[in-house]
Structure 1
Amino acid sequence: MTELVEPVAPAEPAGAGRWCDRCGEPSAAGGHDACAAARALEPPRYCVHCRRRMKVQVVPTGWSAVCVEHGEIRG
């Protein structure tokens, strides 16, 4: 009898991903200096794993961003 085993994706370092979390463009393309500077003051808008637009809520004490596929992050 053969068992089916799903492949496990390699773990990515914190903050790393295939997509820019501000503009949604591929992070490997480079040229995201303005995005990095803006991210110091504002929450992410795109999921770094799947490029989906996230639901973002900003409150006086911080922010939360939710991807329907990958869950919530807070800052």
Structure 2
Amino acid sequence: MTMVPTPLAEPLKFGIFTGVELELQADDAVPASARMGLEPPRYCGQCGRRMIVQVRPDGWDARCSRHGSVDSAELGRR
């Protein structure tokens, strides 16, 4: 049985803030607020699909229809 990688598992194939393949993503494509850690990821790093993101007062959680969910608490990000 093969494990399906989570949306933010390394190595990423797509930009988590742009949805563009990392090889094709421009250096300045990531918004400044995302670089500062103020934005949750919006796209799955494995398939580039738009994720469903819920922002809470204490963090965020994001869900990809193909690769499952990830919570900021799991990553130590708040």
Relative to the length of structure 1, the TM-score reads 0.70
Q: CA deviation at 1:35?
A: 1.4
Question: 2:16 aligned with 1:21, yes or no?
Answer: yes
Structure 2 unaligned segments of length 5 or more: list them. Answer: 73-78
Regions of 4+ moved over 3 Å? none
C-alpha distance 28-38 of structure 1, shift in aligned 2 (>3 A): farther
How many residue pairs are counted as aligned between the two chains? Answer: 67
**Aligned-pair distance for 1:74?**
1.2
> How many percent identity over aligned positions?
39
The residue aligned with 2:58 is: 61
Deviation at 1:34, TM superposition (A): 5.0
**Higher relative contact order, chain-length normalized (CA < 8 Å, sep 6+):** 2
**Rg: which structure is higher?**
1
Match of 2:33, SS? helix
Q: For structure 1, which runs of at least 5 residues remain unmatched after alignment?
A: 1-5
Instruction: Give the TM-score taking structure 2 as reference length.
Output: 0.68
